[in-house]
Every structure is written in structure tokens, then in C-alpha cells.
Amino acid sequence: MKFVAKTLHGLEDILIQELKDLGAKEINKLKRAVSFEGDKELLYRANYELRTAIRILKPIYNFTARSERQLYHKIFSYNWAMHFDNKKTIAISSSVYSDFFNHSQYVALKTKDAIVDQFRNKTGKRPDIDTRNPDIWLNVHVYEDEFTVSLDSSGNSLHRRGYRDMGHMAPLNEVLSAGMLLMAGYKGHRLFKDPMCGTGTNLFEAAMIAANIPAAYYRKDKYCFMNWNDYEESIFEKIKVEAEKKINREGVKIEGGDNNPSSINMTQDVIDELGFGDMIEIEKIPFKRNLPESEMGLMIMNPPYGERLKTNDIESFYAMIGDTLKNHYSGWSAWIISSNFDALKHIGLRPSFKTILFNGSLECKYQKFSMYQGSKKSKYNS
């Protein structure tokens, strides 16, 4: 079976490696997505374990259409009862890049009409629509006159790990955080530090990677694949048991700091709730006083981008970051993400690696600074 895993811009290669580790075959890089092949067990495992996937789609129907009538006819002619019955609630999402169809909501509406009309004609009862928490989620992708209809196996986005409340806003998406950690080579074998941890996303994702806790271990949302006609609960339960046997929290050392007391309190609440106290230590402390106790380690930080600060203030702040790294963090690898490209220049250090990621709609640079002893002019050339 063929599947498509959606992800964020810049994380495709990380997702490819994750899929290889799970045993996926025929892996191909797409735009903000990766296609792959596998069986039902791999589909369940991908939803449960992948850290950089947003959702997993299963393409089930391809056709061409250039008019409303053709679209309706093609959808109506497909046997939807193969996948679900009329007791299930459904929702349709669509993405349209076409000269023949110019409104994604219209495509979704016509798709819905054809599906419910088919069920009504065959059974006398139509499925109900639930756009918030449906049993079955269908995705329609249109490129010119080519349609691909997929079953969304995940339902709610896989970034919703379940380790914090829905109302608990975080400055970093969990998938982005996990991707940054994996891109930095983090596996839990060395000290990790986030000195501007905010509400702790990097800390929690690091703890889960280091302890080999599956990405969806704390997830409370049901997966849509559980509502498909061919769902096999025994396979999913086997996957969970196998994955959870690999969890090992011993020897994990993670440090967090922030100057905002409310952020520290919220982060500590989650640490206590998850039982992460043996892995994560946090304190209220500004970055310039948060000096390392270890000669080596990995740091990732998401400093303010400057929306609420004057230009001079944000430039001085980033210069302070560079000075602190240079003077106190020799032997460390420091990774910084920011959408303020001008402010990043004031760090005053030459990055040894950089790439573009998106934090929400903000285009960001994600840069690595390899800290060595001695002059930055002679040492920051790699």
C-alpha cells in the first residue's frame, strides 16, 4: 500500500530517515511530504511513532475531471462502502491547484454531496457531517484536472502529542521542535539545554527522544484509521506494547531556563504531570547568567524575534547571546532559530550550518554555531 506523510517545510529529509528506521519502502521526497509504501502495521506504527509527521494519508482513488458534473460523477461512482458505512460521520478537506477548479471549499462540497447521495441511494440513510471531530476524514488533492482522494489515517494533527492542554499555547510546534532536535543529531546521549525554554516544547520533545518514548504515547485523540472497515485493533495494541518496552529514562539529562516565571510554572506543571522530574531540571534565570556546568553539550534556543522590542534592543539582545556563547560555551553546539535575519547577524559568530524552517507562517533561519576555544575569526570557518 502507498501512503503519504505530511510534514513541515525543511523537515522532509528528517522524516525520510524516520521512515527508513521504521522499515518503509519506496520512499520519495515530495514538497512538505514524503511518500512511502508499507503494510497496515507500518501505517499504524507511523502514526504512533513518527515525530516529524503531521498526518498520514492513504491514497485510494485517482481520476481526472474538468467540470463540476465530471467531479460529481467520478466521486459518486466510487464504492465508498469499502472503507466506511453510513453510521460514520465524515469531513472533507481539499487543496486545489487548477485552472478548472478555483475554490477548494467548492471541491470539498461537491465531493461531500456525491458521497452522501450515494449512501442515501443505496441504503436510505446518509452519513452525517462533522467538521470538528469526524470518524472519517477524506482529503481531496487537485492538480489541474488530476484528482487524488485519500483517507486521512491520523485525524487530528500528529503534532498534538497530548502532553499539554489544548489551551496551553506554545511558541513552537511540536513537530518543528522534534525536527530541530533530530536535525541537530540529538539522540539523548549528551546533555541538552534550552536556556530560553518558554513553555518547554524543546524540553519535552528532547525527553521523549532520549527516553525512546513514542511521539503519540500521551495522545488522547483517536486516530481516524480506527474507524475504517479494515481496522485491526490487535495489530495496533501489539505495536504499542513493542514500542513501550523500549522506553528507558535512565541517564537522560536535560536543562531548561527562562526569565518568565509564568512560563517556568507552566513547564514545571507538565514535568510533574508526566513524571519527567528525573530527566528535566528547569529554573528561572536569564540567559546571560545561565552558564554551563558541563564542558560539552547541545543547546537549542528560540529567542524573541523582536516584534515587541525596538531595533536597538533586539540587536543588543542577540549580541549578548553571541558574547555569552563565545565566552562561556566552548565545546558546545548551539542551534538558534529566528525569523529576525538582521538580528541574527548581531550574534557575531559564523554559523557552521544553516537552513530555512517555518515557525507557523514565519520564515526562519535555523543556524548551528560550533563553539571552539580561541578567536572566533580563526575558529568559526567550518
The reported pLDDT for the residue numbered 298 is: 96
Strand partners, 299: 193, 334
- Antiparallel, parallel or unpaired: β 33-37 and 55-64: unpaired
Closest listed residue to residue 53, CA positions, set 156, 132, 150: 156
DSSP one-letter code for 127: P
Rounded Cα distance between 319 and 322, Å, is 5
Structure-block grid coordinates of residue 40: 497496515
H helix runs in 124-200, sequence order: 174-183
The reported pLDDT for the residue numbered 169 is: 60
Rounded Cα distance between 35 and 16, Å, is 9
Cβ atoms of 215 and 154 closer than 8 Å: no
Assign 33 a pLDDT band (cuts: 50, 70, 90): very high
The reported pLDDT for the residue numbered 371 is: 87
pLDDT of 379 higher than 50: no
φ/ψ of residue 91, rounded to 5: -145, 150
Rounded mean pLDDT of 49-63?
Answer: 98
Q: Which residues contact 103 (CB under 8 A, 6 or more apart)?
A: 96
Q: Which residues contact 189 (CB under 8 A, 6 or more apart)?
A: none
Cβ atoms of 230 and 168 closer than 8 Å: no
Q: What is the pLDDT of residues 213-250, one digit of tens each?
A: 999 999 999 999 999 999 999 999 999 999 999 999 99
pLDDT of 127 higher than 80: yes
φ/ψ of residue 53, rounded to 5: -100, 140
The reported pLDDT for the residue numbered 165 is: 67
pLDDT of 129 higher than 90: yes
The reported pLDDT for the residue numbered 380 is: 30
pLDDT of 377 higher than 50: no
The reported pLDDT for the residue numbered 164 is: 79
Strand partners, 151: 58, 138
The one-letter amino acid at 276: F
What DSSP line would sit under 35-55, residue for residue? EEE--HHHHHHHHHH-SS-SE
The reported pLDDT for the residue numbered 373 is: 55
Q: What is the pLDDT of residues 139-185, one digit of tens each?
A: 999 999 999 999 999 999 999 999 876 445 667 899 999 999 999 99
Q: Which residues contact 26 (CB under 8 A, 6 or more apart)?
A: 2, 35, 36, 37
For the chain, helix, strand, coil in percent to 5 are: 35, 25, 40
The reported pLDDT for the residue numbered 252 is: 93
Lowest mean per-residue pLDDT among 163-172, 259-268, 367-376 = 163-172
Q: What is the pLDDT of residues 328-361, one digit of tens each?
A: 999 999 999 999 999 999 999 999 999 999 999 9
Structure-block grid coordinates of residue 357: 524552517
**201-210 and 261-274 are packed helices; what angle lies between their axes, rounded to 10 degrees?**
30
Rounded Cα distance between 182 and 204, Å, is 14
H helix runs in 61-130, sequence order: 68-77, 104-123
Closest listed residue to residue 27, CA positions, set 10, 41, 15, 9: 15
The reported pLDDT for the residue numbered 170 is: 62
**40-49 and 12-22 are packed helices; what angle lies between their axes, rounded to 10 degrees?**
130
DSSP reduced 3-state for 329: coil
In the chain the domains, ranked by start, together with CATH numbers, are 2-152 (3.30.2130.30), 174-213+246-379 (3.40.50.150)
Q: What is the pLDDT of residues 283-330, one digit of tens each?
A: 999 999 999 988 889 999 999 998 765 667 899 999 999 999 999 999
Burial (CB count within 10 angstroms: exposed 0-12, middle 13-18, buried 19+), residue 346: middle
* Share above pLDDT 70 across residues of the chain, in percent, rounded to a whole number: 95
The gap from C-alpha 33 to its chain's centroid, in whole angstroms, comes to 12
Cβ atoms of 206 and 192 closer than 8 Å: yes
Lowest mean per-residue pLDDT among 50-59, 126-135, 196-205, 308-317 = 308-317
Structure-block grid coordinates of residue 232: 485491526
DSSP reduced 3-state for 159: coil
The reported pLDDT for the residue numbered 382 is: 27
Rounded Cα distance between 13 and 48, Å, is 19
